[in-house]
């Protein structure tokens, strides 16, 4: 049958994305991907071009979908780094608590497997992580910003804690525990910014 596509590409990408998200690259077999998307192998290969290519497109869709939410949370409180980071973690925790989506984080999942991913995809994951870092870094500038070097470190720290929330949630940590971790990370930001010499002098 058919002559025009019988399915929505983005919907299929969403479903495939969840399979990679839940199971990681290797354990996401084409059979499972086919079942989840409702597509046969012909459609899968004709549309996306193979497992590697499909995986990369799922990474991009994930980064786009949730990256947008992060961006929004961070920029809503522009000029107030602590509030921005709090909003960032609120989005992360909401995603983790969302039962309609797997635990953890596709980027974190992929980062943990980066050494075994084929070259292109491994580098791609690193790029996505760096994008996230840069986004957080931007939110740390503003009136009560830290010196550049410290802001870089804080941004890496926030990204790191974000990864840890993904790992711990996969290991069955409760929402309460994850919230406590995020709160402590926010306090780190607050304390670090407050302790900055420049501002100690300005206050």
For DNA, which residue of 15, 47, 131, 138 counts as binding (CB under 7 A)?
47
Q: In Å, how far from its chain's centre is CA 151?
A: 20
Instruction: From the list DNA, its own copies, none, pick the one residue 39 interacts with, judged by a Cβ distance below 5 to 8 Å according to partner type.
Output: DNA
Q: From the CB of 164, what's the least distance to its own copies, in Å?
A: 4
Task: Pick the binder of DNA from 35, 41, 76, 126 (CB under 7 A).
Answer: 41
Q: String of b and e for 84-97 (b: at least 16 CB within 10 Å)?
A: bbbbbbebbbebbe
Minimum Å gap between C-beta 43 and its own copies is 26
- State the Cα–Cα distance between residues 177 and 180, nearest whole angstrom: 5
Rounded distance between C-alpha atoms, residue 158 and residue 164, angstroms = 10
Chain residues in the site for its own copies (CB under 8 A): 22-24, 26-27, 102-104, 108-109, 111-116, 125-126, 129, 153-154, 156-157, 159-168, 170-173, 177, 180-181, 183-185, 187-188, 191-192
Is residue 42 involved in binding DNA (CB under 7 A)? yes
Q: Is 10 in the site for DNA (CB under 7 A)?
A: no
Q: Is 2 in the site for DNA (CB under 7 A)?
A: yes
Q: Give the DSSP H/E element, type plus range, for residue 109.
A: helix 106-112
Task: Say how far apart CA 44 and CA 12 lie, in whole Å.
Answer: 9
3-class DSSP state of 28: coil
Residue 19 binds DNA, judged by CB under 7 A: no
> Phi then psi for 98, rounded to 5 degrees?
-70, 115
Q: Tell me which residues touch DNA (CB under 7 A).
A: 1-7, 26, 28-32, 39-43, 45-47, 50-52
């Amino acid at each position: 049958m058919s002559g025009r596509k019988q399915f929505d590409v983005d919907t299929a990408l969403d479903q495939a994305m969840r399979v990679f998200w839940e199971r990681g690259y290797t354990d996401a077999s084409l059979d499972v991907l086919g079942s989840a998307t409702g597509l046969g192998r012909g459609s899968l290969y004709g549309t996306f071009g193979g497992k590697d290519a499909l995986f990369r497109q799922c990474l991009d869709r994930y980064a786009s979908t949730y990256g947008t939410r992060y961006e929004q949370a961070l920029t809503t409180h522009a000029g107030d780094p602590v509030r921005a980071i709090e909003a960032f973690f609120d989005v992360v925790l909401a995603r983790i608590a969302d039962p309609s989506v797997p635990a953890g984080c596709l980027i974190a999942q992929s980062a943990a497997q980066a050494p075994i991913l084929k070259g292109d995809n491994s580098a791609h994951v690193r790029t996505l992580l760096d994008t996230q870092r840069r986004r957080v870094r931007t939110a740390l500038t503003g009136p009560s910003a830290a010196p550049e070097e410290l802001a870089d470190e804080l941004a890496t720290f926030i990204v790191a804690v974000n990864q840890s929330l993904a790992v711990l949630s996969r290991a069955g940590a409760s929402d309460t525990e994850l919230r406590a971790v995020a709160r402590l990370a926010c306090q780190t930001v607050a304390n670090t910014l407050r302790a900055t010499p420049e501002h100690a002098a300005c206050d």
